[in-house]
Amino acid sequence: MTSFYQTPEPAGFAGIRSWLITFDHKRIALLYLFSILFWFLLAVTLGGLIRLELMFPGKTVLSAQMYNSVFTLHGVIMIFLFIIPALPAVFGNFFLPIHIGAEDVYFPRLNLLSWYLYMAGGIVAIVSLFSDGFPDTGWTFYVPFSISTNTNVSTAVFAAFILGFSSMLTGLNFITTIHKMRAKTMGWLQLPLFTWSLYATAWVQLLATPVITITLVLVVVERFFNVGLFDPARGGDPILYQHLFWMYSHPAVYIMILPGMGVISEIIPVSARKSIFGYKAIVASSLAIAIAGSLVWAHHMYTSGMSETAVFVFSLLTFVVAIPSAIKVFSWVATLYKGAIEMTPPLLFSLCFIYLFSVGGLTGLVLGAAGANIHVHDTHFVVAHFHFTMFGGTGFAFFAALHYWWPKMFGKMYDFKKAYIAAILVTAGFMLHYVPMFVLGLQGMPRRYYDYLPQYAAGNFFAGFGALCMIAGIGLMMVNLLASLTRERTAGTDDPWGGVTLEWTIPSPPPLHNFDKDPEVMDYPYDFTKVVAAGSGAASMDSETGK
């Protein structure tokens, strides 16, 4: 069976160049995978530098101006170049068409264009680094500072503008694909949950991204033409900028987390050999998160000077969003209950996800409550909270997805033992890194400050130490995964975990057109009776033990 790696090359486009003009969703997914991994590792390094700087009081490795640029760059890369595209662009591109029994996405050319826009956005961001210095505004580009600072805000904002387009076009493509290209026999309630989560995500991408586009355009217009739309001296209102910014950027956190939840909803039932608990509830909660999550943006602005009524309403809505998230957590745990659980590296990452995401979600309620928010606003508590949800959530879901689908994408299995060690190192480092930041925040240490009072020294030291453990774990994970690529193709990777969604019915790596014969769509996507009857176990193969 020839896989999509052996696609005939068009004349004059040999080797890597044939990849650069491909319309194959699987190849585009891999283009995304390696470019996204590059940005991720770069941003991890920058984050490590921030932590190293804060590990000891006073100047350690960075100057103050450099520190401002580094935390801005860390945020911009992690958000626009890693977390937003990571799961939809890599795993969505690769598995969404396969999950619905299709040959490709509906707009394959648009798909390649999205990747080029993504790369262009990344390059523009890099260019701004070397021209007038990267912005020191933080990734939120708040006015009036973003309009008055001398650093190169315009270029960085333009980069985010291009990346927004890329993300929007991917969303548009996915919605059309899911509507128009499902296998004839596949109804909406036979879709795998990962596909459902991508569907909800795509709607948020379409709903919200144009708002950030116009907001960023306005920042550039203000910088070049000095219109004064946000300048209070000339009648403007800087709070309006914050509203417009968060109207996109809060829904954007659901663009980040929803696909992650979808990944976990795939891995948990497969690892437990048990149908997912509450399929419809999970679908409904994805859509509920997409809708309610679009209505809570101003909870970032309790201290900005909004009316009391607005604070009350947004606080209430914020609590409402917690409900669908909790439904998912309970469904995952209930799926595991009395299941025939077989531990695998993707499951371990998924379990860590559930724990870390729950902590992130619950601390979100502390921040969502208007009273408590005043105390911890703009402190390290906030930083710890969103790293628990974004990194402990989406980041760990990304790791889980990498380990879950790696054998399908490459036909090669990684070493389990190293994967477990990496997972434990990353999780332990994570806890040591961010838990002290909760405490520091409650004690009043502000975020984004270059230096701090002596009483915060111990917490910052532990956080820095945890960051180092975490980076070591990520390094081990990457080495372990990439090392597997140099090996011979492993046998038995077609369905190593005992999964039943459509991607596990085809060879690994998949053939060019995904399905050589029409796929058989099951009445219910999580029916494990056949897998249990055959007794084929998850993790029945490991590249080291070679079973």
Partner 1 sequence: MTAQTDASGKKLGMWLFLYTEIVLFGGLFVLYAVYFAGYTEDFIAGAKELDLFFGVVNTIILLISSFCVAAGVTAMQKANKNIALAGLVGALACGAVFMVNKYIEWGHKFAHGIYPGSDRLMDGPPGQNLFFGLYFVVTGLHGLHIVIGMTLLAVSLVLVTRQKITAQNNAVLDNSGLYWHLVDLIWIFIFPLFYLVV
Which residues lie near partner 1 (CB under 8 A)? 100-104, 106-107, 110, 168, 172-173, 175-176, 179-184, 206-207, 209-211, 213-215, 217-218, 221, 225-229, 233-237, 240, 243-244, 247, 513-515, 517-519
SS3 104: coil
Q: How far is the CB of 193 from partner 1 (least distance, A)?
A: 20
- Tokens linked to 352: 């860590």
DSSP-assigned beta bridge partners for residue 446 = 379
Alpha helices in 103-142, H assignment, sequence order: 108-130
Whole-number Å distance between alpha carbons of 505 and 183: 15
Burial label for 188, CB within 10 Å (0-12, 13-18, 19+), is exposed
User: For residues 84 and 175, which CB has a smaller minimum distance to partner 1 in the complex?
Assistant: 175
Q: How far is the CB of 163 from partner 1 (least distance, A)?
A: 15
User: For residues 439 and 522, which CB has a smaller minimum distance to partner 1 in the complex?
Assistant: 522
User: For residues 379 and 514, which CB has a smaller minimum distance to partner 1 in the complex?
Assistant: 514
Whole-number Å distance between alpha carbons of 497 and 340: 13
Whole-number Å distance between alpha carbons of 335 and 269: 6
185 near 217, Cβ under 8 Å? no
Closest CA to 51 of 313, 532, 500, 384: 384
Q: How far is the CB of 515 from partner 1 (least distance, A)?
A: 4
User: For residues 205 and 325, which CB has a smaller minimum distance to partner 1 in the complex?
Assistant: 205
User: For residues 100 and 425, which CB has a smaller minimum distance to partner 1 in the complex?
Assistant: 100
User: For residues 211 and 376, which CB has a smaller minimum distance to partner 1 in the complex?
Assistant: 211
Q: How far is the CB of 101 from partner 1 (least distance, A)?
A: 6
User: For residues 53 and 104, which CB has a smaller minimum distance to partner 1 in the complex?
Assistant: 104
Whole-number Å distance between alpha carbons of 333 and 320: 21
User: For residues 175 and 538, which CB has a smaller minimum distance to partner 1 in the complex?
Assistant: 175
Q: How far is the CB of 328 from partner 1 (least distance, A)?
A: 26
User: For residues 217 and 458, which CB has a smaller minimum distance to partner 1 in the complex?
Assistant: 217
User: For residues 69 and 111, which CB has a smaller minimum distance to partner 1 in the complex?
Assistant: 111
Q: Which helix (H) or strand (E) holds 271?
A: helix 238-272
Q: How far is the CB of 522 from partner 1 (least distance, A)?
A: 16
Q: How far is the CB of 236 from partner 1 (least distance, A)?
A: 7
Q: How far is the CB of 102 from partner 1 (least distance, A)?
A: 5
287 near 327, Cβ under 8 Å? no
Whole-number Å distance between alpha carbons of 377 and 304: 11
Those residues with Cβ within 8 angstroms of residue 254's Cβ, 6 or more apart along the chain or in another chain: 201, 204, 289, 290, 293, 294
Burial 334-356 (b: 16+ CB within 10 A, else e): ebbeebebbebbbbbbbbbbbeb
Q: How far is the CB of 276 from partner 1 (least distance, A)?
A: 25
Q: How far is the CB of 480 from partner 1 (least distance, A)?
A: 34
User: For residues 178 and 321, which CB has a smaller minimum distance to partner 1 in the complex?
Assistant: 178
Q: How far is the CB of 142 from partner 1 (least distance, A)?
A: 16
User: For residues 59 and 179, which CB has a smaller minimum distance to partner 1 in the complex?
Assistant: 179
Position 277: which residue type? F
Those residues with Cβ within 8 angstroms of residue 98's Cβ, 6 or more apart along the chain or in another chain: 502, 503, 506, 510, 514
Alpha helices in 369-415, H assignment, sequence order: 370-376, 380-389, 396-410
User: For residues 51 and 182, which CB has a smaller minimum distance to partner 1 in the complex?
Assistant: 182
What single DSSP character describes residue 379? B
Position 270: which residue type? V
Whole-number Å distance between alpha carbons of 398 and 88: 10
Position 121: which residue type? G
Q: How far is the CB of 368 from partner 1 (least distance, A)?
A: 24
Q: What is the per-residue DSSP string for 4-71?
A: GGGPPPPTT--THHHHHT---HHHHHHHHHHHHHHHHHHHHHHHHHHHHHHHSSS-SSS-HHHHHHHH
Whole-number Å distance between alpha carbons of 472 and 427: 11
